[in-house]
C-alpha cells in the first residue's frame, strides 16, 4: 500500500525560492536546526499554519508612484551637480559664483521635493 501524503495525498507542487542576506539566512537555518524539522516542514509550520500575522504594505497611489519616479530622476541631477563641483574643485576652478549656482540648484531641488511630498498620500 502506498504511503499517504501529509498534505491530503495531492503531492508536492513546484518549489519556491527566495533570496536572503547572509545574516537572515544564518538566522533562518539556526531556527530550522533548533526545530528539528526540514526546511520545508519548518516553512510550512511557520507560515502556512495560520500562526503568522500578515501585515500588508499599503498600496501606493498613482501620485506616490509618480513622486517616487521623480525622486529617482532627481538623484541623477544630484549626481551631475556633485560631479561638476568635484571636478572643478580638483582642477582648482571652483569659483564662488559656480559654488553659489550649484548650491541654488540644490536648494531648488530640495524645495521642489518637499513641496511635492506634502501633496502625496
Indicate the pLDDT class of residue 77, thresholds 50, 70 and 90.
confident
Are 60 and 68 within 8 A, CB to CB?
Answer: yes
Average pLDDT over residues 79-104: 90
pLDDT at site 45: 85
pLDDT tens figures, 92-102: 988 999 889 98
What pLDDT digit, counting tens, does each position of 14-60 carry?
Answer: 888 889 999 999 999 999 999 899 988 888 888 887 776 767 777 87
Angle, CA 65 vertex, CA 61 and CA 71 arms, to 5°: 140
Question: Percent of the chain having pLDDT more than 90?
Answer: 21
CB 116 within 8 A of CB 67: yes
Helices (DSSP H) in the chain: which residue ranges?
22-35, 39-47, 62-90, 96-117
And the C-alpha cell for 38? 526540514
| Percent residues over pLDDT 70 in the chain | 88
Closest CA to 82 of 105, 63, 57, 112: 105
Q: What is the pLDDT of residue 61?
A: 82
Residue 46 burial by CB count (10 A; 0-12/13-18/19+): exposed, middle or buried? middle
- What per-residue confidence (pLDDT) applies to 53? 72
The angle subtended at Cα 23 by Cα 17 and Cα 24, nearest 5°, is: 40
Amino acid at each position: 500500500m502506498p504511503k499517504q501524503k501529509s498534505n491530503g495525498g495531492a503531492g508536492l507542487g513546484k518549489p519556491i525560492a527566495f533570496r536572503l542576506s547572509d545574516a537572515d539566512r544564518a538566522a533562518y537555518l539556526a531556527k530550522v536546526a533548533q526545530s528539528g524539522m526540514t526546511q520545508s516542514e519548518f516553512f510550512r509550520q511557520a507560515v502556512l499554519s495560520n500562526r503568522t500575522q500578515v501585515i500588508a504594505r499599503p498600496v501606493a497611489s498613482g501620485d506616490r508612484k509618480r513622486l517616487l519616479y521623480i525622486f529617482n530622476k532627481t538623484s541623477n541631477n544630484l549626481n551631475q551637480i556633485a560631479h561638476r563641483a568635484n571636478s572643478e574643485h580638483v582642477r582648482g576652478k571652483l569659483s564662488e559664483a559656480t559654488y553659489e549656482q550649484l548650491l541654488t540648484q540644490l536648494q531648488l531641488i530640495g524645495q521642489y521635493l518637499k513641496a511635492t511630498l506634502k501633496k502625496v498620500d
